[in-house]
Amino acid sequence: MADQGDLSQRARWAGGETLVSLLMARALGNPELVSLAVGFTDQQTLPVGPARAAFEAIWSDPARARAALQYGTTAGYLPLRKILLERMRAADGLTVKQMRATPEQIVVTAGSNELLFLVSDTILDPDDIILCAAPSYYVYLGTLANLGVRAVGVDADEHGMVPEAVEQELIRLRDDEQLHRLKAIYVVSYYDNPCSVTMPAERRAALVDLARRYSDGNRIRIIEDAAYRDLRYWGEDVPSMRSFDPDGTTVITAGSFSKSFSPGVRVGWGLLPPDLVGPVLSLKGNIDFGSPNFNQYLMWSVLEQSLFDEHIEAIQAGYRVKVAAMLDAADELLGPIEGVEWIRPTGGLYVWMRLPEHVDTGLAGALFERSVAEGVLYVPGEYCYPSESRRIPKNMIRLSFGVPSCEDIRRGMEALARAIRHVLD
Amino acid sequence: MADQGDLSQRARWAGGETLVSLLMARALGNPELVSLAVGFTDQQTLPVGPARAAFEAIWSDPARARAALQYGTTAGYLPLRKILLERMRAADGLTVKQMRATPEQIVVTAGSNELLFLVSDTILDPDDIILCAAPSYYVYLGTLANLGVRAVGVDADEHGMVPEAVEQELIRLRDDEQLHRLKAIYVVSYYDNPCSVTMPAERRAALVDLARRYSDGNRIRIIEDAAYRDLRYWGEDVPSMRSFDPDGTTVITAGSFSKSFSPGVRVGWGLLPPDLVGPVLSLKGNIDFGSPNFNQYLMWSVLEQSLFDEHIEAIQAGYRVKVAAMLDAADELLGPIEGVEWIRPTGGLYVWMRLPEHVDTGLAGALFERSVAEGVLYVPGEYCYPSESRRIPKNMIRLSFGVPSCEDIRRGMEALARAIRHVLD
């Protein structure tokens, strides 16, 4: 590593190794290990056929193929942005007028991750505050650390962030004269990472209302991460948080095709309040000058040919079987163990599990070591908590059914059950 | 635009509209306008055939196609990184041992632009100093402004940055006790933007030596932007600045296939000193989690099938004709006008031209307005100067022969000649 003096303050904030590389290093010795850790998508469901059809459709017209190979604009390919907005509108059951947005407010990014980075860097200064559910998406917590931003954890339950807890925090910040530091509330609104919980409509409305009411000094934005919206296996869809924003100036919504189509094509987007479009594009222009045009044409072609909806049904069917396999194994193998409980997801890629209070699930703890020895890898829950959380429980784990087959899920859960029983003995 | 108070310091530094959007706004009224402004690549040379062949080769193996559609690593696809390093080694005529680098030091990015951003954000703090040629690549100057970094201009001539001027600046900074603020020297080493000049070997060696000798407090890096290396139309190649770095710890080299293959596929890369690999990957992990795997497989397939070398010959042949068209028109139409002179490029995409001293080429000046009226768009040279330059001449323009056809180049140069004669009268 570089002499710290040779690095910028930001690079020093970014810190060292990521959780993923730490996990990978632990896994190296055991190629038989079942990884229930990474949240990648199922290799078998990746859209080889639809991607070919989309490519062929573009290449059938050489002028269009050339356009796909040329530079695009920093904001992205307008026909794609139009379809994205139209799909968001239709999903929320809004009229065009109710949507209160134009395609110019859509920015296409390298996955939703880049959108989260761009927005965060645009509205948050070092020492500013963002409220996040405790637990939250750990990669984004890393991004916030990189920016020197204070991530403050707010209680969440099986319906996501608790509005009353958010309001308590708002009052506390106001009393401490720190409210001007609060710039955003981050919400993974559908099947969140790590809990796979979806926030119900009333809470969405309540949170938007809180953000607006407490925006007296500066504006408090809601960053809605809707990356998992399409990964719904049971139950009804819920309108986006954006749909509860009366004038479209409070909520920023990030979406992605990484989970629902292909992470290798890596097309995400954001719907931005009008006043943030310019500043976000300035930053994006300086980073990458616009996301690859080729990938945007490809996703446009996928959507234009209605290849996406068929594919997402296949994906949902596949994950429905896999989440059932994980829950069945959990019921059978872990249900009998006292103090082990978990949230039953109806979408997403994760099962969030509580172990008995005294079990330390951390990388240096006995359970992790034993799990690797038994042949399974999980994400220690403590990585999913904002650094400023009231309490960071040590006994949580995140399991993913995204990558492994049903057989491997079963093997992994058996290994996990053996490891838990071992450390409890 | 957002209330400035709602934006981060960085977003405020990033400022408002880019030059490109300002130029586009001016061009809207006149669809017949020939743009000699944008540095995009020639639409006709975009590799429709090679891209299809590369795609077919990947898709002929469904397992490989799935791999291309899955997440990759943050650093990039290792087989691609191996080929990139091997090509850099071969281009510099080095043995493997002389190269002193492993593929792990290659990071694949969204164009060379993202590499420049990542490296800059990793080593430069606000108020830090970077030396840039005056003139330099204006998009990168925007990136530096975004980061709050002080870009200090150094004299350059038809062989690029002048080492004696660099040393003077180093001495001045040391005398002012500001040397600890100097973190980097930025050099577009081949056919630079905006002048299309290539730095000869002796200067490269001298600059690397200076950077090393003056690295007493903190390390001074050289950021070598080699994006145009393959756009060579006449003359011999020159070894990279990296090849003059005795231990590979001073020079960061950025490369790109945007100009030489396809900006829409948008694959760039950097060869980093070992100590910067980790910090750059931390930041990249937070921004985009790795560049799209699909695009990396595609470029790997292009290189693996030797489709690139054939394509670059076609590109060079095409631009050779176009630069000749521009120079011929300049000789004939502008040569007779006293006080108009230009550098004759042997590669790259630009012709850098000086007009008589009293001509103001800026957006608000008479020449720009007249040029638009006559039907041609250029880049005012003043945008290409670091903000802290000894002198920012107002009478320079950058012309590009990248996009227009030979006929349009001729038309554009005729319009430019009329506009110049008009303002001189």
Q: Which two tokens stand for residue A188?
A: 């993974």
Q: Pick B5 or A247 by higher pLDDT.
A: A247
pLDDT at residue A100 in the model: 94
Q: Pick B98 or A3 by higher pLDDT.
A: B98
User: What is the rounded average pLDDT for all residues in chain A?
Assistant: 95
pLDDT at residue B177 in the model: 95
B269 forms beta bridges with: B108, B255
In angstroms, the CA A209 to CA A137 distance is 23
Spell out the residues 6+ positions from residue A280 whose beta carbon is closer than 8 angstroms to its own. A107, A118, A119, A122, A270, A272
The verdict on a CB contact (< 8 Å) between B275 and A69 is no
In angstroms, the CA A59 to CA A309 distance is 22
- pLDDT(B129) > 70: yes
B422 touches chain A (CB under 8 A): no
- Chain B residues whose CB is inside 8 A of the A123 CB are 6-8, 11
Q: Which two tokens stand for residue A404?
A: 């492994």
- pLDDT(A71) > 80: yes
Residue A413 C-alpha from the chain's centroid: 24
Q: Cα-flanking dihedrals φ and ψ of residue A15, to 5°? A: 75, -170
pLDDT at residue B41 in the model: 85
Sheet with A341-342, edge to edge strand ranges: A341-342, A350-354, A396-400, A379-380
In angstroms, the CA A190 to CA A196 distance is 7
pLDDT at residue A136 in the model: 98
In angstroms, the CA B213 to CA A217 distance is 50
Question: What pLDDT digit, counting tens, does each position of A88-128 carry?
Answer: 999 999 999 999 999 999 999 999 999 999 999 999 999 99
To the nearest whole Å, the CA of B283 is away from the closest chain A CA by 7
pLDDT at residue A30 in the model: 73
CA Rg, chain A, in Å?
A: 22
Q: By mean pLDDT, which of A13-17, A176-180, A293-297, B287-291 is the weakest?
A: A13-17
Average pLDDT over residues A28-51: 88
ipTM of the shown complex: 0.96
Q: Which two tokens stand for residue A16?
A: 């060292």
- Chain A residues whose CB is inside 8 A of the B128 CB are 8
pLDDT at residue A32 in the model: 84
Provide the pLDDT confidence category of residue B359 given band limits of 50, 70 and 90.
very high
Q: Which two tokens stand for residue A87?
A: 């799909």
In angstroms, the CA A61 to CA A36 distance is 43
pLDDT at residue B309 in the model: 93
Q: By mean pLDDT, which of A69-78, A288-297, B10-19, B22-31 is the weakest?
A: B22-31
With 0-12 CB in 10 A as exposed, 13-18 as middle and 19+ as buried, what is B92? middle
**Following CA atoms B169, B172, B174, B178 in sequence, which dihedral angle do they give, to the nearest 10 degrees?**
-90
pLDDT at residue A19 in the model: 80
Average pLDDT over residues A21-42: 81
pLDDT at residue A26 in the model: 73
Decide: B337 and B424 in contact? Cβ < 8 Å. Answer: yes
End-to-end CA, chain A: 41
To the nearest whole Å, the CA of A203 is away from the closest chain B CA by 25
pLDDT at residue B313 in the model: 96
pLDDT at residue A305 in the model: 95
pLDDT at residue B226 in the model: 98
Query: Which amino acid is present at B35?
Result: S
| Alpha carbons within 13 A on the beta-carbon side of A80 | 28
To the nearest whole Å, the CA of A84 is away from the closest chain B CA by 20
A160 forms beta bridges with: A157
Residue of B nearest to A57 (CA): B52
In angstroms, the CA A283 to CA A235 distance is 39
Provide the pLDDT confidence category of residue B16 given band limits of 50, 70 and 90.
low
- pLDDT(A1) > 60: no
3-state secondary structure of A177: coil
pLDDT at residue B28 in the model: 64
- Chain B residues whose CB is inside 8 A of the A65 CB are 46, 48, 51-52
| Alpha carbons within 13 A on the beta-carbon side of A49 | 7
CB atoms within 10 A of CB B217: 12
In angstroms, the CA A83 to CA B316 distance is 38
In angstroms, the CA A251 to CA A184 distance is 10
To the nearest whole Å, the CA of B311 is away from the closest chain A CA by 14
pLDDT at residue A28 in the model: 64
Decide: A247 and A100 in contact? Cβ < 8 Å. Answer: yes
B72 touches chain A (CB under 8 A): yes
In angstroms, the CA A322 to CA A61 distance is 40
Walk me through the domains of chain B, giving residue ranges and CATH numbers. 4-46+310-424 (3.90.1150.10), 71-305 (3.40.640.10)
In angstroms, the CA B92 to CA B239 distance is 5
Minimal CA–CA distance to B332: which of B417, B215, B403? B417
Decide: B162 and B134 in contact? Cβ < 8 Å. Answer: no
Q: Which two tokens stand for residue B358?
A: 């009293």
Decide: B336 and B79 in contact? Cβ < 8 Å. Answer: no
A146 touches chain B (CB under 8 A): yes
pLDDT at residue A40 in the model: 84
Q: Which residues of B106-134 are buried (b: 16+ CB within 10 A; e: fewer)?
A: bbbbbbbbbbbbbbbbbbbbeebbbbbbb
pLDDT at residue A16 in the model: 67
pLDDT at residue A29 in the model: 65
pLDDT at residue B26 in the model: 74
Average pLDDT over residues B315-326: 97
pLDDT at residue B19 in the model: 80
